[in-house]
Structure formats: C-alpha cells, structure tokens
Amino acid sequence: MSGGVDSSTAAYLLKSEGHDVVGLSMQMYDNLHNADTTYGGCCTIDDLTDARRVAWKLDIPHFTLNLERNFHEKVIAPFVAGYLNGTTPSPCVLCNTHVKFDLFHQKAQAIGAEKIATGHYARITIDGGGRFELRKARDLMKDQTYFLFELSQDQLRDALFPLGDLTKPEVRTLAEEGGLVVARKKESYEICFVPQTDSYAAIVEAEAGIAPGENAGEIVDVDGNVVGKHDGYYKFTIGQRRGLQIGGTAERTYVIDVNPFTKRVTIGPASKLEREELIAERVHWIAGEPPNGPIEVQARVRSRMADVAATITPLDGDRARVVFAHKVRGVAPGQAVVFYDDDLCLGGGWITR
C-alpha cells in the first residue's frame, strides 16, 4: 500500500471479496532526512499516513517495512551507476524486480501471506500447459506490464493484480464508493526518490560525491566538431532535446551519444537517433525458457512508446537480437526492451550499446 488510489482500491476490492487482507507499506528512503523536500512519487511521509488511514477505514492490519538499505542497494545505486556509465537507467523496473516482487514478497510470506497484491494495471492468466502469463491491462493507457517483464513463474503464481480489468475512472469511482480518502488523490509520473525541486543529476552528484565541474566536457556534433561545453556528461540522456543550450542550429538537435570515458556529449538531428536493430542482454522469458529460434513480436523500447513490429532472435549468454520492421527513434542503452504477442508479455531484456 503506497498511499495512492490504486493500491488502496486493490485492498478495498480484496477485502470486499472476503479475503483476509494485511496492508504492507514500504519505506524506501529516509523520509525524515528529506522532510523538507517534495518528492514526485510514492512512499513519502504523507503517503504512508494515507496508507494507514485507508487501512483503518478497511479495518485491516497495517505495517510499514523499512526497506531503505535494500532499496538503495538494488535501485538507487544502479540508477547512479547507469548515468555515470553514460546509459539511461530504468529504476521502476529494478524496483519491481528486486524490491516489490522479491524482498517485499519474502516479507509478506514471512507473516503467512499466501498471495501478494498490488495496484499495478496488469493481468495474470494461465495457458493450456499450466504456465502463468502476464498480460496487458484492459486499460492500455495505464498498462504497466513494461515494468513487470522480469517476473518469474513463481512470482506470477503468488501475485494478484485486482485492477487489471478496470480503467482508472472506474478505480476512482470504486474508491469513492468505499469511502477512501485517496479517491481523488493526484497521481505522479516522477521517479519517487528524485525531488520535484531538483533533477536526477543532483542525486547522482550527492551519491557519487561529484565536485562541481569534475565531469565537465565538450558537446560535439556528429562530425566531431566542438559546438559547446557542459558541466557534467551524466546530465544528458540519449534522445534529450531540452537543456542543450548551444543555440544557432537551424533544426532541432538531440543528444545522440554520451561517452563517459571522453566525457563528450554528441548531438545531432533526429534522424541520427533512428535504429534498425539492437542487442539486448540479460534477456528474461516469462514462460521460463527462450524460443527455439527467431519469433515475430511487437517490441517496446521505452515505457511510453508505442509497440513496434520486430523479429527477436535468441543469442547465447541470455542475449537477443531485435530487428525492427521500421526504424525506431529513442533506443537508449540502459533502458528495457519488452516483447509482446498482442496483449501477452513474453519478457524482455536490457538494451546495450
């Protein structure tokens, strides 16, 4: 229970169906240390208070788990390392894989829970052979399967997604019917541990102990000509357009590459962002094993981008080659590429250079 309307409504639905429900919330960073900062996501002091209020309304036990150390190790540290390596991290996938459906799952089992339920917009089905399947939510605008592609068969077996067949307006209506104080609570799309008043770069600098100007370097065009200076290469991500502050270009300019070794940031036109294929590593197949050969799928290279027809060819070492039916813009190392067969999430992997 994050204190938002989705997880609160999930708890309300399960309680209404007669389940024995226990509310668990996660404290994932030092709220007291950051009490003067407005966070963009979940699990602030106010959010945890809202979760307790909902639990009281539903007459269910509620506990807050201190997962700060684990969250730092599994999510924040890789997030910082990703930017320092010139890649674009996906912390929400890491949080789901290593915290919510691993450590949190273990904590729930330790108190005797048979299932864990969340407010994710996704669905779980079972195929003819008894294997669990992860499917897109009915509300495709809210679908969150992209962030869940690393779930295993055991994790899907023990998970419940009560909101999978509902739309967001229907969820809010149910929350109002249940008298939940969070029924009209505003939702956020920000990274939870990055303050709204600052940027992710501040997190990187604080965590890595970076001195001002320590990672300054050149901004160059695709021909290697120096066109500007920057004060930190980790402040740039592939596909970024805003904040370049170079001026004098006739067309829109984007970040094409970030090199952590030379500290150079390469910029160019949108056409230079287009890719026909990529290699993914640490590929995970939800069914438990990779296909025997190339398969036709729809692939998504960023959480809010449209699916694109593609051919996936499994390679050795848990890798795969993804060849798109047409050029795709915005492919960034460090992000996830997720594979679908219509509404069935097959799995995915991590984009390499």
The per-residue b/e assignment along 183-194, b for 16 or more CB within 10 angstroms, e otherwise, is bebeeeeebbbb
Helix, strand, coil percent content, the chain, rounded in steps of 5: 30, 25, 45
Catalytic residues: 95, 192
Among candidates 152, 138, 248, 192, which has minimal Cα distance to 30? 192
Residue 332 CB partners (closer than 8 Å, separation 6+): 87, 88, 237, 238, 239, 301, 302, 351
Cβ 125 vs Cβ 137: under 8 Å = no
Longest dimension (CA), the chain: 67
Radius of gyration of the chain measured on its C-alpha atoms = 21
The first and second tokens of residue 62, run together, are 């509620």
Using CA atoms in the order 235, 319, 321, 98, what is the torsion angle rounded to 10 degrees? Answer: -50
Cβ 308 vs Cβ 274: under 8 Å = no
**Amino acid (one-letter) located at 210:** I
Report the C-alpha gap between 278 and 287 in whole angstroms. 22
Report the C-alpha gap between 176 and 169 in whole angstroms. 11
Report the C-alpha gap between 11 and 49 in whole angstroms. 16
The first and second tokens of residue 268, run together, are 């160019």
